[in-house]
Amino acid sequence: MSQALQSLLDLLDLEQIEENIFRGRSRPAIVPRVFGGQVAAQALVAAGRTVPADRPAHSLHSYFLRPGDPGVPIVYTVDRIRDGRSFTTRRVVAVQHGQPIFHLSASFQRHEEGLDHQAPMPAAPDPATLPTAEEQLPRYAHLDPAVVEKFLQSREAVDLRYVDDPPYGRFGEPREPRSQVWFRTNGKLGGAVDEPLLHVCLATYVSDMTLLDSILLAHGRGGWAVNDVVGASLDHAMWFHRPFRADEWLLYDQESPSASGGRGLGQGRIYTQDGQLAITVIQEGVIRVPRTP
């Protein structure tokens, strides 16, 4: 296991300071605020710590309320909404400086047999044939080396490979509003940490990294890497359909059906390498073009 992955696992290992109250810390992000995927993943950890292990998470719905301060801890308070015979529901509020910065509702379900169908996995190249971030990012001579360094540092724990150029790779050229990436943790999970909740939380963490890319592609924008838009996540929803492992390749197929009013919608499907639809993700974000003075 890489040191970067161990650091991410430590980040998700929240400190319990009272019943239903947990504390988490942050790590540096590309922008000077707490990375949204981190807050969502930590909130799901907090919720999951209050649920029996035989009830995996099946969905989450969340709102980003305020920018998080990476310099101070985040306190997560869990409200045990309901414990039913089949489903368990939790609500989590993340607080900094006495104010809520994030709100999450999550549902957990005991295993059941039932009807089964799925959308087919789209075509995608083998991830082994695609460049790593360390190989790809230095190719873009127009990017500030400091930005490249921040990107690489923020993704050390995750092996994330774009099928095509990311928005900042060929900005100024509108493309189809669709993006594909393969991802997995940078190292295998095992031992005491290898539990279903952790894999779900790791996928939640990664799911916020690239989902708004397809919006930028439609307008030829490079995003935060070249400072031609101002963006932030507004809400985030996930449905976990089938078991998966975050340390095995997952295909994240993303598209944007709409952008208007300073907001853009991204939706994605995450498949296992053998074609099982594991997760559906939907997110809306603020996408604003800076005004020219």
Long-range contacts of 138-141 (CB under 8 A, 24+ apart): 140/168, 140/169
* Whether the Cβ atoms of residue 202 and residue 183 lie closer than 8 Å to each other: no
Q: How far is CA 91 from CA 63, 85, 271, 280, in A?
A: 12, 18, 27, 20
Residue 276 bears catalytic tag:
no
For the question of residue 256 being annotated catalytic, the response is: no
Question: Catalytic pick from 105, 107, 154, 233?
Answer: 233
Which residues lie closer than 8 Å to 258 by C-beta, 6 or more apart? 264, 265
At 185, list the tokens: 């943790």
**Alpha-carbon span 253 to 281, nearest angstrom:** 10
Task: Choose, from 159, 208, 213, 247, the residue flagged as catalytic.
Answer: 208
**The tokens 């050229």 sit on which residue?**
173
Q: Is 283 a catalytic residue?
A: yes
Would you tell me how many other CB atoms lie within 10 Å of the CB of residue 235? 14
Q: What tokens were used for 65?
A: 């309320």
Q: Cα torsion for 215, 174, 272, 274, to the nearest 10°?
A: 150
Name the active-site residue from 179, 207, 214, 283: 283
Catalytic residues: 208, 233, 283
